[in-house]
Chains A and B, each alone.
Chain A
Amino acid sequence: MAFSGNFMCTSFKKELMTGTHNFTAASDQFKMALYTNSASFTAATTAYTSSNEVTGTNYTAKGNFLTSVTPTTSGTTALTDFADEVFSNVTISSVRGGLIYNEAATGDPSVVVLDFGADKGASSGDFTIVFPTADASNAIIRIA
């Protein structure tokens, strides 16, 4: 039971073909929840769960809404991005990873699993998720 890497959820790939996800919606679509290393997410993860979600001061269950960037293309690659997300003034510890999921879709279907590589924490401070450069080689979600 532990994080074992970053994964694009297989169910998300299928749901792209069935029109479940819309990254151009104005807001309140995608959320990111944070978890301890007791969570065991893989590519087979299909939806948000409250199991092993972190708790702490100013952290709200189910996490924060993300600001998605309108999908674009670079060469033959399609990509989309999220603005860096700040969990402000939180006291949380043993945060090993996160799950991005679609809050607006029925069942809160998952998008990607993020493994932070080590336990992270903040004490009366900011916990910031820095998304990679939105280009054809690094963007968080890209289809080549």
Chain B
Amino acid sequence: MNSMSFGEFKVDVQTTNNRGATPEEVAHRCVGKIVAFSEDAHPALRDQAIAYRDSIEKLLVIYMKQAIQSDRTTVYNAIKEAGHPTLAEYIRKM
């Protein structure tokens, strides 16, 4: 075929109210970028891909939680050093 075409597309929108996204929500989005498979794939391959995707998603959640906790430590120390120990302690306990 010698013609050229631009494919159709659509995006999804996810919103939250009075909070940010949870590690589980972010991990779910992220894993979709890492592991993708065709719905037409052979069932055995598709099952394998789904199992792999699920294991990656669980791993992402664990490390995201660790990253959040670690960043909170950084924020805690920054706020404490700025002279707001009560606020820092509140953040540490979140």
Contacts and interface: CB of A to CB of B under 8 A. Distances in A.
Size class of the A contact interface (CB-based, 8 Å): 35 or more
Nearest to B32: A133
Q: Is the interface of A mostly helix, strand, loop or mixed?
A: strand
A59 interface: no
Interface residues of B, number: 22
B21 A126 contact: yes
Contacts of A138: 7, 9
A123 interface: yes
Given A133-B33, A135-B36, A123 B18 contact: yes
Contacts of A116: 11, 13
A27 interface: no
Interface in B1-56: 4-21, 29, 32-33, 36
A125 B19 CA distance: 5
Given A120-B13, A125-B16, A127-B15, A139 B21 contact: no
A144 interface: yes
A127 B9 CA distance: 20
Given A120-B13, A122-B15, A130-B12, A137 B33 contact: no
B18 A125 contact: yes
Residue among A88, A124, A134 facing the most chain B CB atoms (10 A cut-off): A124
Contacts of A133: 32-33, 36
B7 A137 contact: yes
Contacts of B18: 123-125
Contacts of B11: 98, 114, 116, 129-132, 140
12 contacts: A8-B9, A77-B7, A83-B33, A84-B29, A122-B17, A123-B17, A125-B18, A126-B21, A127-B15, A141-B6, A143-B5, A144-B4
